[in-house]
A = this chain, B = another copy of it.
């Protein structure tokens, strides 16, 4: 039993394709009776327009690709990071609300994987340095939306997190709580974000006349980061009095590590993690987090994308999305 087509239902209703199409789409000038009749017949026959045919006619498929760089080696691990999980969900939801569907693409996918898809644009959530995908997409004249690392390339647009604010807000908060030896833990990755955090940290310390204390985790992921935390907290006679972890590590694990080394949080050590992980709320004490606002990033990105696609917006400076510090007991001096 083949699917009901527009012609089928037109014939059944004794009308023409044109009339039925207009009736169902609410276009054209038709008498109410005819419109009603067409709709009735459609319902009765279970007619559903063929999406592909419509897309062909329309010239666009309202489909956007979504690529994320892999964390560690395994593609898709990214989704296990609360930040990317939320970014992904928020992107899909926002896009859908604007009439665009999102298809998931693995990082490092080849032309052959996405060439068969009618993509209007592609969002590259976290471009991996050596990934060819951005160039390939631009060469295929598919608009790319990514982070600031694509800035300046024709056809590429960006939205990014304000890395300077990340460091500034947290260290200002530590400072206000009396900390004078804050230490930073950040992965030794080539990601633009981590480089910016590092730079912002140096600048902040210089501006405040404090020593630049920082430890780089060998790579992202809980294992290496926890190790780096242990290193950071173990240093010499002058122990740090505050710790900022910018690595999406599990807050309970970081807290446990600090305790194992003999710190009381927040007594001897103020703690804050850049993380979207809700477990931070459930530890004892709850852990202060700095949210990168994946939902806001997604919204800004999709808004930008829609503007470019639908109003042919050409050059814009991109957008820097603000972050949010959620102060909890782990970074508040008891008094």
Which A residues fall within an 8 A CB radius of B? 3, 46, 48-56, 61-63, 66, 75-80, 82, 85-86, 88-90, 92-93, 96, 99, 101-106, 109, 113-119, 139-141, 222-223, 226, 250, 252-253, 256, 260, 276, 278-279, 281-284
Separation of A223 and B281 alpha carbons in the complex (Å): 8
Residue of B nearest to A141 (CB): B3
Measured between beta carbons, the chain B residues less than 8 angstroms from A115 are: 48-49, 51
With A117-B51, A260-B284 as contacts: A104 and B79 at CB distance below 8 Å: no
CB A102 to nearest CB in B, in angstroms, measures 5
Q: Are A85 and B96 in contact (CB under 8 A)?
A: no
Measured between beta carbons, the chain B residues less than 8 angstroms from A260 are: 284
Separation of A283 and B254 alpha carbons in the complex (Å): 10
Separation of A79 and B85 alpha carbons in the complex (Å): 5
Separation of A283 and B101 alpha carbons in the complex (Å): 39
Residue of B nearest to A227 (CB): B282
A51, A77, A82: residue with the most chain B Cβ atoms closer than 10 Å: A51
Q: What are 8 A-B pairs at a CB distance below 8 A?
A: A46-B141, A51-B117, A53-B56, A79-B79, A79-B88, A101-B117, A223-B281, A252-B279
Separation of A76 and B295 alpha carbons in the complex (Å): 11
- Which 10 interchain pairs have the tightest Cβ spacing? A76-B89, A252-B252, A51-B118, A92-B104, A79-B85, A52-B118, A250-B279, A101-B103, A52-B55, A80-B85
Residue of B nearest to A85 (CB): B79
Q: Are A106 and B92 in contact (CB under 8 A)?
A: yes
With A80-B86, A89-B76, A278-B222 as contacts: A103 and B102 at CB distance below 8 Å: yes
* Neighbour of A256 across the interface among B53, B54, B79, B283, CB < 8 A: B283
